[in-house]
Structure 1
């Protein structure tokens, strides 16, 4: 049987299944996720019982001594296995939040290796272990979305950054992890509350989706509520592209200078802690003593003059 597909065009299936949803607290993220079909919330905030969505508290299981008996990675693996192999009726998996899950992964590695920081594990082994755990989780969830047509929602908080003197909200998830998560997602959507209005806006998307090619009407209807969900990307001419690249390069150069300065200040601070008053360690320089030479005495001592004897008077 040939593994090659027929050499002819086919109708593309464009239904997006993987989403990054971010925003500040109380800005409509949870409300948005509840509008997806049949969601299950994998919750890291410990408040799974406080929401109506069927939920699981995601945390390490520990014994009376505080030792991890079942790690978060094992808990998530068991949940994914069950979602793949049983009839459950769930159509959407919500990871609330992906930031906390990665932090729990890091904690798991540190406790397993007996270190305080993942950087304390030599030869970059700790960072490699953490990256592998994150990638495995993302790939297993993506496989679940492809085979079972399950929607995957990665929830992240947000932070404000300055970009070209303009304040902008971005996911609080570190850029390294955001690149992995976002690279396996179809949409990145910002939830904001302006006044009494809740707004959903596309920050990035995998491709220019068209509504008529989305075969899941419930997903299509949800995207109808998101600004920019079906807008086509605009082409940029060469001149404008050059300006954008130049501005980006300048921004990156400024960021690198700021990082170098921060590292230098940290190094200077550590040096000051080790030696609070560097002047104390230095002995004051003593002025060279002047050596005065005594005048050389003549080897011949001057002889005292003797008066001539008196002559007797005649």
Structure 2
């Protein structure tokens, strides 16, 4: 039976648990994320073995007949179910990289429907199916009592009229809006020269204070990000 809360104001307790980290190749995205408490990586880059984080390789696998013997859609559902229903010690889930996850979800839908693109599926069903799957994945991750980190690459957009360039996440805008809409912090990683790395908060859900971050390790990591806490 559902119990209604008391009809009285509650004191906000802001604490970020969902993060979007983006940056150019080798700018320290995965490295920074790997220091969050007890991480598990859903890896698409194929470079997970070079790191120290336990990982699950996410990919579509086809059989000789061209049909899927492993679908990322079913694989991701299986991972979520395991995290929801079985005892484990993981405290952080890394989606590395979310760009590839979206591409592979598209690919799985197209293979199942024997088409080349989502647009080839009649009545907009392809796009509707994709949006539903991505939204469910993001919402299921958000519901876990864990930190969730989405990692994305960087895209440089140049305005030919002004000849100015701007770095943005490479994740398609319509997909970025779904993911970022469920995140608390957006962090941009950059590398200058051979050994200088920076991290900058480019968007946030609230103005956080150090005392809001209960986990000392997470607080220490976020203190290294420019613009995280007001001085």
What is the CA deviation profile of residues 136-159 of structure 1, one whole-angstrom value per residue up to 9, with x for unaligned ones?
100100111xxx2x0101000001
Distance in 1, matches of 2:65 and 2:216, equals 51
1:160 equivalent to 2:153? Answer no
| 1:13/1:214 contact within 8 Å kept | no
| 2:22/2:151 contact within 8 Å kept | yes
Please report the RMSD computed on the Cα atoms of aligned residues, expressed in angstroms: 1.8
| 2:59/2:70 contact within 8 Å kept | no
Alignment match, 1:198: 197
**Aligned 1:175-254 pairs, distance under 5 A:** 175-195=173-193, 196-231=195-230
| 1:13/1:215 contact within 8 Å kept | no
In our comparison, the structure showing a higher alpha carbon Rg is 1
Alignment match, 1:301: none
1:126 equivalent to 2:122? Answer no
| 2:67/2:112 contact within 8 Å kept | no
| 2:23/2:153 contact within 8 Å kept | yes
Q: Secondary structure at the match of 2:14?
A: coil
| Bigger mean CA offset, 158-167 vs 219-228 | 158-167
Contiguous gaps of at least 5 residues in structure 1: 233-314
**Aligned 1:240-279 pairs, distance under 5 A:** none
Distance in 1, matches of 2:6 and 2:229, equals 30
| 1:42/1:95 contact within 8 Å kept | yes
Q: Which has the higher helix share?
A: 1
What TM-score does the superposition give when structure 1 sets the normalisation length? 0.69
Q: Which has the higher strand share?
A: 2
Q: Offset at 1:165? A: 5.3
| 1:17/1:151 contact within 8 Å kept | yes
Q: Secondary structure at the match of 2:3?
A: coil
Alignment match, 2:138: 138
1:24 equivalent to 2:24? Answer yes
Q: Secondary structure at the match of 2:166?
A: strand
Contiguous gaps of at least 5 residues in structure 2: none
What TM-score does the superposition give when structure 2 sets the normalisation length? 0.92
| Relative contact order higher in (CA < 8 Å, ≥ 6 apart) | 2
Q: Secondary structure at the match of 1:101?
A: helix
Q: Secondary structure at the match of 1:204?
A: strand
